[in-house]
Structure 1
Amino acid sequence: MNSGESTVTVPLDRAIEVARLLECLTRSIDRIGSREASGTADAETLDRFITEWLIGPQASRARGVLWDAISQVIGEEAIEDIAEAVPSFPDAPPEEVRRLRQEMSARQKVLGG
């Protein structure tokens, strides 16, 4: 199956739920990182955010929204195969993370950093 030609449909309320979580994570981690850089936060701050805001269960719920929609197109067995192939911490970062790191570094050099 050519996955580039398939469409996955997520109900709007569920898509908003996932988008809100991603927005929360992005903004919060950015703020925590800024505070760490200024010395007013540390790893404990990040841990507190993850624990108090129930990030694990929220991320699991968002993952379920996406996997449910994807499974309607490719089936449960394919979902399981994809999930099994996903790297996770403490494994080495996957290739897409290394590429993103290179892109960010190149962008920083262009901006004069």
Structure 2
Amino acid sequence: MLTPESNRLMDMSSREIRMPLDEVVAVLQDLNEFVVSLDRLGSRQASGTADEYTVGTFVADRDVARRLARARRVIGVALDAQLSEEDNAEIDALCDQGRFHGTDRATGPSTGRSG
């Protein structure tokens, strides 16, 4: 059964957001690096040649948290500039439904797209 939220999501699914190509390329480069590297690290963990320390070192050395926050900010700025406050509030609410490590679901995450 479709809820009002799912109806709005369907309406939003055909919309397009424009972003500067240089920012899109930078985000894609970071995401590609993370996906390939984490896949390789996962394979190494499965074969016993890497452990959690190795993954933690990668995350710290490659500044993954800051770079992912930048990617989120780039997308958030484009959304904020091109969508209504209501649409952005709905997207923020959907993002808050994610699975967050180290948070109690009862208290909810402390997130924000733009930060």
Q: TM > 0.5 between the two?
A: yes
| Structure 1, gaps ≥5 residues long | 93-113
2:98 is matched with 87
Deviations 1:14-39 (A, max 9, x none): 00011001101110001101111111
1:62 to 67, 71, 77: 71
TM superposition shift of 1:45: 0.7
Distance, in Å, in 1 between the alignment partners of 2:85 and 2:56 is 33
Summarize deviations over 1:61-96 as a string: whole Å, max 9, x none. Answer: 00011111111222456434433433232369xxxx
Mapped to 2, the partners of 1:76 and 1:63 lie a distance apart of: 18
Say yes or no: does 1:71 pair with 2:80. Answer: yes
Distance 2:100 2:44 in 1: 24
The residue identity in structure 2 corresponding to 1:4 is S
TM-score, reference length from structure 2: 0.69
Bigger share in helix: 1
Counterpart in 1 of 2:26? 17
Between the two proteins, what is the percent identity of the paired residues?
30
Report the Cα distance in structure 2 between the residues aligned to 1:20 and 1:79, rounded to whole angstroms.
26
Tell me which residue corresponds to 2:3.
Answer: none
Q: TM-score, with normalisation over the residues of structure 1?
A: 0.70
CA distance in 2, matches of 1:36, 1:63: 28
How many residues align structurally?
A: 92
Map of 1:49 onto structure 2: 58
CA distance 1:73–1:13, shift in 2 (3 Å)? same
RMSD over aligned CA atoms reads 2.1
Mapped pair 1:36 → 2:41: no
